[in-house]
């Protein structure tokens, strides 16, 4: 009996196919507060009632996916909303994580899902907010690569890919590959995303860079590329 392939059904399946990312998770947490609607770092000298906990998650895709950008999400923690309803339950119940620190540096399979919340972006457009829902945790990169392949992924290489720069983008930096050190040049691709994720908080940026391998081999907050990005942020 032959199977009839219906392009109408296939079109729907493609649109509803989960958006998965495979890579290494970097997670950090910090106390913040909002002063005149602007986010600032909370210190012990500030009012405890204004203290909020912000978790920042950065996923560095494995090379085999062909993705050349970091995926970053930050969320304010509470007993409801995306942290309590989506992120933490998937880490705890699906991945077996009992404390957040244990998730740092782990290789994961993550789906980008809608939170149900909308916001207005800098272009004045209303867009739907998204966050990470965790579907798997692996002890090493090999396990993550195996899961990517088992799910139908086709291995691709990113080391020789140099994304085009937009000269009008103040966050653009020279991404021309240096044949003498492809690892450094590949790592440099992630700097603009990290600077944006830190939101001007130099201490948070310092921690993020220091925790990420191999990025921390080549860059610090004092590196010329990072300094230029901070000026443009």
Q: In whole angstroms, what is the distance from residue 218 CA to residue 178 CA?
A: 13
Tell me if 94 is assigned to some domain.
Answer: yes
Which pLDDT belongs to residue 5? Answer: 55
The answer to which of 22-31, 139-148, 158-167 has the lowest mean pLDDT is 158-167
If one compares 157 and 113, the residue with the highest pLDDT of the two is 113
CA torsion 5-6-12-17 (nearest 10°) is 0
Does residue 175 have a pLDDT over 70? Answer: no
In this structure, the answer to whether residues 73 and 186 fall within a common structural domain is no
Does residue 213 have a pLDDT over 70? Answer: yes
Mean pLDDT of all residues in 170-180: 49
In this structure, the answer to whether residues 99 and 168 fall within a common structural domain is no
Tell me if 86 is assigned to some domain.
Answer: yes
> What values do phi and psi take at 231, rounded to 5?
-65, -35
Mean pLDDT of all residues in 139-157: 82
Which pLDDT belongs to residue 167? Answer: 45
In this structure, the answer to whether residues 75 and 172 fall within a common structural domain is no
Which pLDDT belongs to residue 98? Answer: 95
In this structure, the answer to whether residues 63 and 106 fall within a common structural domain is yes
> What confidence tier does 13 reach under pLDDT thresholds 50, 70, 90?
low
In this structure, the answer to whether residues 91 and 197 fall within a common structural domain is no
Give the mean pLDDT of the chain: 81
In this structure, the answer to whether residues 195 and 81 fall within a common structural domain is no
- Across 42-60, b (16+ Cβ under 10 Å) vs e yields beeeeeeeeeeebbbbbbb
In this structure, the answer to whether residues 87 and 202 fall within a common structural domain is no
pTM of the entire structure? 0.63
In this structure, the answer to whether residues 107 and 212 fall within a common structural domain is no
- The fraction of the chain above a pLDDT of 70, given in percent, is 80
Last residue in a domain, options 80, 115, 150: 150
Last residue in a domain, options 89, 121, 150: 150
Tell me if 102 is assigned to some domain.
Answer: yes
If one compares 147 and 171, the residue with the highest pLDDT of the two is 147
Last residue in a domain, options 92, 124, 150: 150
> What confidence tier does 104 reach under pLDDT thresholds 50, 70, 90?
very high
Q: How many domains does the chain have?
A: 2
Tell me if 2 is assigned to some domain.
Answer: no
In this structure, are residues 204 and 198 in contact, taking their beta carbons and an 8 Å threshold? yes
In this structure, the answer to whether residues 193 and 123 fall within a common structural domain is no
Quick one: angle between helices 202-211 and 224-232, nearest 10? 140
Which pLDDT belongs to residue 165? Answer: 44
The helix/strand/coil state of 39 is strand
Tell me if 207 is assigned to some domain.
Answer: yes
Tell me if 1 is assigned to some domain.
Answer: no
In this structure, the answer to whether residues 101 and 198 fall within a common structural domain is no
Which pLDDT belongs to residue 27? Answer: 94
- Full residue range of the structural domain in which residue 26 is found: 7-150
Distance from first CA to last CA of the chain, Å, rounded? Answer: 60
Q: In whole angstroms, what is the distance from residue 154 CA to residue 8 CA?
A: 25
In this structure, are residues 147 and 108 in contact, taking their beta carbons and an 8 Å threshold? no
In this structure, the answer to whether residues 103 and 173 fall within a common structural domain is no
In this structure, the answer to whether residues 27 and 139 fall within a common structural domain is yes
Which pLDDT belongs to residue 88? Answer: 97
């Amino acid at each position: 009996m032959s199977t009839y392939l219906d392009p109408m059904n296939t079109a729907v399946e493609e649109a509803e196919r989960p958006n998965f990312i495979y890579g290494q998770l970097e997670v950090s947490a910090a106390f913040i507060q909002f002063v005149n609607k602007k986010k600032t770092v909370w210190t012990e000298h500030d009012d405890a009632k204004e203290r909020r906990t912000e978790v920042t998650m950065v996923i560095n895709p494995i090379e085999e996916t062909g993705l050349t950008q970091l995926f970053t999400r930050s969320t304010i923690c509470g007993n409801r909303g995306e942290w309590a309803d989506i992120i933490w339950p998937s880490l705890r119940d699906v991945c077996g994580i009992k404390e957040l620190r244990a998730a740092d540096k782990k290789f994961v399979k993550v789906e980008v899902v809608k939170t149900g919340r909308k916001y207005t972006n800098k272009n004045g457009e209303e867009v739907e907010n998204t966050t990470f829902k965790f579907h798997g945790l692996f002890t090493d990169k090999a396990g993550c690569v195996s899961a990517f392949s088992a799910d139908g992924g086709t291995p691709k290489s990113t080391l020789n890919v140099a994304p085009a720069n937009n000269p009008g983008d103040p966050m653009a930096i020279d991404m021309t590959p240096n044949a003498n050190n492809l690892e450094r040049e590949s790592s440099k691709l992630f700097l603009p995303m990290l600077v944006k994720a830190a939101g001007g908080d130099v201490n948070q940026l310092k921690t993020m860079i220091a925790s990420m391998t191999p990025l921390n081999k080549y860059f610090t907050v004092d590196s010329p590329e990072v300094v230029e990005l901070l000026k443009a942020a």
